[in-house]
Every structure is written in C-alpha cells, then in structure tokens.
Amino acid sequence: MKQEPSHLSGPGSTQTVHAGERRFRAHHSLTVPIVQTSVYTFDKTADLLNYFEERMFWDEVEREEYGRYGNPTIRAVEAKLAVLDGAEDAVLVSSGMAAVTNTLLLLLKQGDHLILTDDCYHQSREFCTKFLSGWGVESTVVPCGDYDALEAAIQPNTRLIYTESPTNPFMRCVDYAQVVEIARRHKLLTVVDATFATPINCRPLAFGVDLVIHSLTKYLGGHNDLMAGAVVGSTRLTTRLRQAQGMFGSIADPHGAYLMLRGMKTLALRMERHNANGLAIARFLEDQPQVRRVWYPGLESHPDHALAKATMRGFGGVVSFEIDGDGERAYRFLDALQIPTIGPSLGGVESMISPLAIMGYAELPEEERLALGIRDELVRFCIGVEETDDLINDLRQALAQI
C-alpha cells in the first residue's frame, strides 16, 4: 500500500477517539469526567510540600492545586491535541484570540519587531499593527505568498513571523518550507494559525514551524457550542505560556473542555465531509454565471492550488466567492438561501454564510476594507456536514432568484 509522505500524514479516527486519554479513569467512566471544581485540597501538609517539590523539579505532576493553574478535564484535551498535531505539548486557553494574543505578548517585548502576512484574520492583524504598537512592538505586513518581500522585511530586531494557512477569507496557503528556511536562517520563530486546516488536513509542525495556533471554537469543537483556543508546539515554548496563564487568567472551563473532547472524537469523520462538500460546492459555484470569482485551494484556479496539493490532505469547508453584481444582489442571494444561516463563525456541523463587508469588516473605513479585497459582494460560505446535493440545490435556487 502506498504510504503518504511524512508531512502529509495525519491523524485518523482511531487517534481522534483515543489519543491522549488514559485507559482507566475514575469510577470506571468511559468518557473523561467533568472535574467541576476551582479548588483542590491536600490531606496533610506533607502532601502540599511534596506537590510543590514535584512542581519545582519535574515537568509533570499528577494532581492540581488551583483551577487557574490546571484541571484534569482540560489536561485531557491538551494531551489529545498534542498527539493530533504531532507536538510535545498543547496549552488550552479561553478562545482562539486568547491563543494569538497570549502567545505574541509572551514572545515579544518592547523594541521587538514581527512580520505578518496581509490576508489573515482582521482582529489578529489589528492586534499586531495597532495594539502591540502601543507597547513599543513594531510590525510589518507583507503580501501572502511573496517570500522575497518577507525576507526583505526582516530587521535586526525582528523576532518572529506570524501567518495563517489557509488564510481568512481568501484561503491562501503558506509554503512552510520557504517560511521555515527563511526564519531559521535569520534565527526567527514561526507561529502559524492553522484553524482552517485542522490537524486532519495539515500539521505545520512537521514542516518545522515552531508554534501552531487553533481556534477550537471552529472545526475541532465542531458543534458551535463552545469557545476555546490552543497553542501547540515544543515544551520549551509552551511551558512559558502555561506558566503565564495563571496571570493572564485566559483559562478554559471544564464544561467547555468536556465538549471539546466530545467534538474531537468525530473530527476525522467530520473533516472528510467538510472536505468533500467544500470541493464539490467550489466547483459548482465556479460554473455559475451569477458568480464572478471563487477562492478555494482545491480549485485549479486558486493561486496556491499546487502548494495546497503538496502540503494538505484536504482543503476544508470554507469557500469564498463574489456575486457578479453589487452588494444588494449578494444580499438577495443570501436571503434566498434555506439551509445555511447567516452567522460569523465556521467549522460547525451546520452551514453558515456571511457577507464579509458587514460581518467582520464593518468597522473598517471603506477605503481600508477595499484595499484588503473585501468588497460588498464578497460572500464566505462556511460549509457544514449536510448532504452535498441538498446544499448545491439550495445554492442553485438562490442564485436563480438574482
């Protein structure tokens, strides 16, 4: 049987169900229990002294002290995530943005400089270019896919490169080999938000990326019922975040962690459907006269199609496209749809769709928004796990009404 290249190998359903979980659990429970407590007690002072001695000299301790510093249900999520991403460690935080902000705040200090790519989540870009600048951290935005510009932007005080892959909303894909080679030559850290890929479709750490960020609210949770984020990588880097998490207070809750574990068990199965739906719908939309352009890395027309094929096992369930016409025509199309609901997120079992000029970029001045390519007629379709034919038929009838 032909074996996948190591950089394309990824977890399947056996790992998503069982990875990181202890075989024998309290009370003989099949599922990891929700440990709903903020405080952990000690029987004797000797137990307390032993705990702090172990925490000082050992990487792992078998128990917790206080809810802001750890929880058994949360630890189970972290262990599973680390296995799925092929990492030494993972740190669970309260949201995807908490994963971004906490990581950059820890890795950068006053006088430092970072480089980020232009087609990325707008709040990540805002945090880098506006918030961090107030703390004396400079940033340079370079075009996604322009590796000459990336290297040219490096300064003596540059400390890291931050990017996404695939990007939001135009699904641009990063050449990890080039980014890592440039970063290592200049002794820089690399941080990649891989929310749109998930460990099923791509594992950036296999290419040498230092840290991977996930918004677990999306595909990994998968049911639109929780908020969480994660930072995944080597213990050398994640330990700093884990130690600072008690000060930041950006902790996830045990109930959310339990929902994360439940969601991740079906991740491989769900991504198979997301990938299939995404490709079929992108191909359908590209053939429709009412659609001006489609962005999906599984399409030959996408600028990073060859790169996506070489680095990803599947292309995900997000398709961005422009309605041929103006914003009003796009709004009529959206209102005519019967299956997807209008909403701001992605990665759940339910399909959602949004006019990005309003949902996500409304606070930007029009000139700035248009410079990012966010036109009134741009639509992002976050495809769920419904039947492919049902979704296509719904798109067809909605397009026919405009």
- What does the alpha-carbon distance between residue 46 and residue 40 come to, in Å, rounded to a whole number? 15
Strands 113-117, 158-164: pairing kind: parallel
Q: What's the whole-model pTM score?
A: 0.92
Residues with a catalytic annotation lie at: 68, 121, 193, 218
Instruction: Using alpha carbons, select from 123, 71, 129, 62 the residue that is nearest to residue 245.
Output: 71
Using CA atoms, how far apart are residues 401 and 337, in angstroms rounded to an integer?
10
- Domains of the chain by range and CATH? 88-248 (3.40.640.10), 267-400 (3.90.1150.10)
Cα distances (angstroms) measured from residue 199 to each of 47, 159, 202, 244: 39, 26, 5, 26
Q: Which helix (H) or strand (E) holds 159?
A: strand 158-164
Q: Return all residues near 215 (Cβ < 8 A) that are at least 6 apart.
A: 95, 96, 97, 99, 193, 195, 229
Proportion of the chain in helix, strand, coil states, percent, rounded to 5: 40, 15, 45
Residue-wise pLDDT tens digits, 107-122: 999 999 999 999 899 8
Residue 161 near residue 150 (C-beta atoms within 8 A): yes
Element (H, E) at 147: helix 147-152
Could you tell me the sign of the dihedral formed by the alpha carbons of 266, 312, 354, 299, in that order? negative
Q: Are 334 and 342 within 8 A, CB to CB?
A: yes
User: SS3 string of 344-363?
Assistant: CCCCCCCCEEEECCCCCCCC
Q: Which residues pair with 89 in a beta bridge?
A: 233
Output the CA torsion sign for 77, 83, 86, 87.
Answer: positive
Prior bond to 365 cis, omega within 30? no
Buried-exposed string 62-97: b where 16+ CB fall within 10 A, e elsewhere: eebbebeebbbbbbbbbbbbbbbbbbebbbbbbbbb
Instruction: Read off the tokens for 170.
Output: 């135009």
Instruction: DSSP for 35-101, please give it.
Output: ---SB---SSHHHHHHHHHHHHH-S--SS-SBTTT--HHHHHHHHHHHHHHT-SEEEEES-HHHHHH
Angstrom CA distances, 196 to 1, 96, 165, 218, 275, stand at 29, 12, 7, 8, 11
Sequence-separated (6 or more) residues with CB below 8 Å from residue 298: 278, 279, 282, 305, 308, 315
What are the pLDDT digits (tens) for 372-402? 999 999 999 999 999 999 999 999 999 999 9
Rounded-to-integer distance, Cα 239 and Cα 66, Å: 17
Please, what's the b/e burial string for 269-279 (b: 16 or more CB within 10 A of its CB; e: otherwise)? bbbbbbbbbbb
Write the DSSP symbol of residue 252. Answer: P
* Res 92: pLDDT: 98
* CB contact set of 268 (below 8 Å; sequence gap of 6+): 11, 12, 13, 15, 16, 200
- Give the model confidence (pLDDT) of 271-329 as tens digits: 999 999 999 999 999 999 999 999 999 999 999 999 999 999 999 999 999 999 999 99
User: For the chain, which residues score pLDDT lower than 50?
Assistant: 1-3
Coil, strand or helix: which one is 395? helix
Spell out where 188-243 has E strands.
189-193, 211-215, 229-233
Pairing of strands 378-382, 318-323: antiparallel
For residue 218, the 8-state DSSP code is: T
